[in-house]
Structure 1
Amino acid sequence: MTIASIEKVFIEDLTSLYGLEEAGSIVWLVIGFVCKINRSQYLNNRNDQLSEDQLRTFYEILSQLKQAIPVQYVLCETEFYGSVFKVSPAVLIPRPETEELVDWILKDAKVNPTYYTGLRMLDIGTGSGCIPITLKKYLPDMEVSALDISSDALELAKENAGLNNTDVNFIQDDILNPFTELGKFSVISSNPPYVTLAEKAQMHINVLDHEPHLALFVPDDDPLIFYKAITRFAERHLEGGGLLYLEINENHGQETVSLLIDSGFKDIELRQDLRDRDRMIKARLR
């Protein structure tokens, strides 16, 4: 069987579950992973015969994908901002919106490099560590820390820091009831849980059945519970004039802005993602 033939099998078997476009994206990730080729190589090699071992691996992966297990969990890795990160069901799969948040911070740093040299930065609810590790990779002079409640997530984040040759300080704590004395920071970032239980019905089965609910959901009657906690923490732990970067629920953008205003933040910017949804906020502590 050729690479092109197995691609056809994957698309036929996965389209009913994921749709044609996403099935095509998934099979490309699998082909690149199994055959160790990029897209340009694929165009030249799509009619190459697969080995027995490769074919066996393809069908093992397909079996898991047909159970709606996300392809990133099946492959145990994903790409984020040009780097490879290990992922498992202990952490959320990094999303493009989070790449946009990281890109915002890095572009701000490029405009004002002196501010970001030698400063202390903290990421709250770090999961796979994709935010702090990427920032440390591109801003090596920063002192970067990352906090999460999950010991399993932190173990994976530490592995990712090693994989990406970065030095990040990892801390286990609960931002809703923090107990660790961390001092002051110049920048705090966070992509906390923000999906309400009422929004579960809109989510794909591969997210609901396999990604960690601890990192996803918040109560319908308190959708900003983590933003309130992060804001309280930032009031105490941000330096005067320090910056707070947040990924947010698109349905609660103005509410989050109001929370920050009431908490003494200024220069608040609500930014849309590439799909024109309210998904990111930057604010400065007075």
Structure 2
Amino acid sequence: QIRKEEPDLMPYLRPDAKGQVTLEYNMDRTPKRVNTIVLSTQHDDFVKPHDGMSQAQADRLMQEKISEDVRRIVIPRLIEKYSSKVQNLLDDQVRYLINPTGRFVLGGPAGDTGLTGRKIIVDTYGGRAAHGGGAFSGKDPSKVDRSATYAARYLAKNLVAAGVSDEIKIQVAYAIGQADPVSIYVDTYGRSRVRETDGEIASMLSSLFDLRPYHIIKSLHLEAPIYRESSAYGHIGRTPRVATKSFTDGNGRTLTKEVELFAWEKTDLVDKVRGAFHF
């Protein structure tokens, strides 16, 4: 937001950036405190060696400035968006690692390229949830690596929003050439709010949402031109919205289409879930 909308605040920012927040947890899986915040951002070469200054000294001045701005500008803006309960997790013992490797001028594909593809954990839950490992990039929605991940997210988000559990993991497995899942697995981590067991919740999911690939694609509108927006900033935790897209077809005609972005983030299944669990 600062880089794109308020560049005067931190004018040296460049697009390549990585962030990580490490939490300490209580034994009941609830967050206790923020332990470490790591933030590395690509930046302009905004301090040049001069008057006998070495490159290492110039790099250190840049790192100190970035660290100061992150603590003074970024962290207060971030934390004010949250409730006091969340704010209290951030105490004066938090360890900040801001550009810990130092100079970060060369970034993007020029500085970090290879053949491994997009990091799927970054595209989804950041290591918070188990993942099958199938990538999104380059795959159309007929591949369950992509479509079933969206469906599982959609179901999990709606079950939590409906009050079935404070936390839930949903795993779906398929066999090639067979439309119905061969396995549906649910883990509520002991935080369920309903009388049904995790196994019974799993057996109810197919009645809440059709988990055959064709129906996932149709229900979540996955054949529409929606994937450009997910090529950066991840696929999970985004805000669903409607957008108007214009593009040229194979005959050179310009077509305009209204599409639904990040439909798997909607919570429009809540009433149906509550009905199924007799809330």
User: Normalized against structure 2, the TM-score is what?
Assistant: 0.30
User: Normalized against structure 1, the TM-score is what?
Assistant: 0.30
Higher helix content, 1 or 2: 1
Structure of larger gyration radius: 2
